[in-house]
Structure 1
Amino acid sequence: MSDVRTLSLSETVLTLSAALDLVSPLLVNHHRRVAYLAATLAHEAGLPPNRQHDVVLAGLLHDVGAFSLQERMDTLHFELQYPQTHAERGYLLLKTFTPLGTIADYVRYHHQRWDERDSLPGPIPPESLLLHLADRVAVLLRDDEPVLNQVGGITASILKHGGNMFSPELVEAFQAVSKREYVWLDVTSPGIETIIQEKLARTEVALPSSALAELSRLFGRIIDFRSSFTALHSNGVAAIAERIAQLHGFTQEECTLLRIAGNLHDLGKLSVPRELLEKRQGLTPADHNIIKTHSYYTYQVLSPLRGFDSIRNWAAFHHERPDGNGYPFHVKDDAFDQGCRIVALADVFTALTENRPYRPGMAPEAVRRELKAMGTRMQLDQQLMAAVNDCFDDLTVTCLSAKEQALSEYLRFRGAFDSWSRQGKA
């Protein structure tokens, strides 16, 4: 069984950050670059180590509330309209996990202009202003020219906006670090993740094992809340997987780990544009090919986590089949173990009950018939399917309860965001 107790908060945040930047090649490493620049500026500005650590985590997640591809691409413009919209969403998501409550405040105001800071009812965290500067420096970086040739132009752009867009004190700190060649070479290095890990290791924050399931639920919300059609999905998969494991006599630890895998199974779907998830006229073969990549990315994004191999496989293999004809790895036999088969079944069970843009959700008896047919076709494990058939009513209640919980969370999230929007802050 995986030993997940050694995981740290920074490791898991780095994992989520990597997934967030998969949506476009133009965004690869954006969160890491902002995190590195924020760390460098925070050190130059004299922030204590714990606040430097937090600003790195905030940099790694600052655009977590940008739900659509268009929103993410818009953030690459140096001056953009309505930037606070995705920042507010990010705040609302991150504050639900207590260890990230502080950085949620940093993310909330990471597009706040210096000369408009007094327009808000309360003080702006200095870390937010620092993130804003780091983010805008990052968007000025280009990959088509040697970075040291860009330093003069980037520095001139930042100096031009000192005292209006950016804090004069932070611009002064930026001027100091901009003269150090290694900073620019680090921020554009292919090894930037390792560089950030070294910075975080100096002030590591251990993640208690009891918090891992809660953190995975946050991941599930970030994955699912991008669209009303997927808003309930991961919580349903997690609950069904855990319940099947309980009914099959798994230990409490194994049941919890399967719940975590259920929450994380669609992590790679952050690489799929929301516009595709909400397409109403049906998916083309080209669309299907894009969507089929998501479980591959779930595997790749989770792979760096120490002691996470079993959870990674259970999460990433949810579109594999017992006969080896699933995707994208075509695993079978021992590689497609009982945990993988449980999550795969839980994913199908939950998906069949859900409304999608192109079809309504199925009634319980229709779900039962479809699952049985899939077991007969070796698309799901036959023995597991037979056992599930015996406890189908129990699982139906579990699924309904999980969906009600997720719906309550989603409506609370939407309600808070809509209330903020009505106040004219968007």
Structure 2
Amino acid sequence: MEDTIYLASSQHKLWSFTPESLSSVRKATNAAAAAQVREAIMRAREKKMMNGGVVKSGNSNGMVDSDIGTPADGSGNGNGVGADGLALGPDEKEIECLTAEEELKLVRYYCRKIMDIATVFEFPTNIKATAPTFLRRFFTRTSPMTYHPKTLLTTILYLTTKTENHYIHLKDFSSKIPKSSPEEILAPEFVVAMGLRWCFEVKHPFRGLEGAIMELVKVSEGKYIHPTHPTTSDPQETNTFNPPTPAEWQAKLHNLPPLPTSPHLPPKPRIERAHGKARSILSGPVLLTDAYFLFTPPQIYLSSIYLVDPPLAHFFLDLKHPYPHQSSLLQTLKSIIESCAEEVRKGGEPGAQISKEEMDEVKRIDRKLYFCRNPEKVDLVGVSKQAKRGVTEDEESGTGGNGEAERREREVKKRKLEREKSFREGEELFGSQTK
């Protein structure tokens, strides 16, 4: 069942976990971000005091979600927040950071949002599935306390269109996003790419589902030819065991236990029903869970069939593993599929709207996040410009001592290195001009 190509992919090597290791990574990310946030807020408070109580405010784009209702002016809090959005007084109250569980709930909400935006653009299924997968990957090793998920939605979605070879001009994309500009969309792209560990390929379960359905249709028509049986250490089994004939497989399919809701459904319409419902699960609920982190694409698509028609899923597994020496493997696979189905169930029903209780919880978390964000990461456009120029925030504001002189020296060295590199590459390409 394990695809050898998948096992060699970056998705498997970089983004596959056990439940325990995934939880450990998230807790470590949360703890590291909480420490960084506290240090950054303390630095901002000290800087505020040095500037006589005035702090340059950054671009607040993404700090407020109109659906969530986070206060934009610092009102409605009990921590005493000034105009700069920072809690007043370093010793008044301990900064209360998000927990790993709260971060996960917030990311799940924004997975819904990015899928909604993709639907507005009428993007194909692969983009609608890749965008939330990128979002979940990014926030596995990066905390929402460092970068608010909303600030990255359009960046991740636009990056997805490029990685999935679905061209859309940046200006056309930006024009459909309220209160956004091409510069704001592109500014965090490098940060997102690093957070994804430069792994842009996502292997989805959709193609596997289509292949399984095609095979089941062939069975229903009595045309399924079983491939040559795998080798076994038992020569007697190799020589004596013959898999069922196409007609026998067809009869087995016809004799499957009926569905409670549609007891008289013929095999082919039953397969078509399973196909449609399984695909809706893969394009919705699955993407709100950790299924992509914990299971392989074949296991995920089989779990979607299992959720809508358990007898049909078990029949397909029997179809692919009919030999006696595969019985132990078959039972293991069925157990894994059931475990995967339990994870997928956490995503809810296809098309289900977010509940009031879940929405209230997200609002609470986002209000809490407003007061524990890293203030140095709010202005993504400004941070991007400084990084490109090779200057720090202190140098930009003139508080870095000899920052201007140091910056100019770095620029001179950088240009010199670039000239030397260009010269070497020219020699390698055309040969040395000296004799």
TM-score by length of 1: 0.24
Give the structure, 1 or 2, with the largest relative contact order (CA under 8 Å, sep 6 or more).
2
Q: Of the two, which has the highest radius of gyration? A: 2
TM-score by length of 2: 0.24
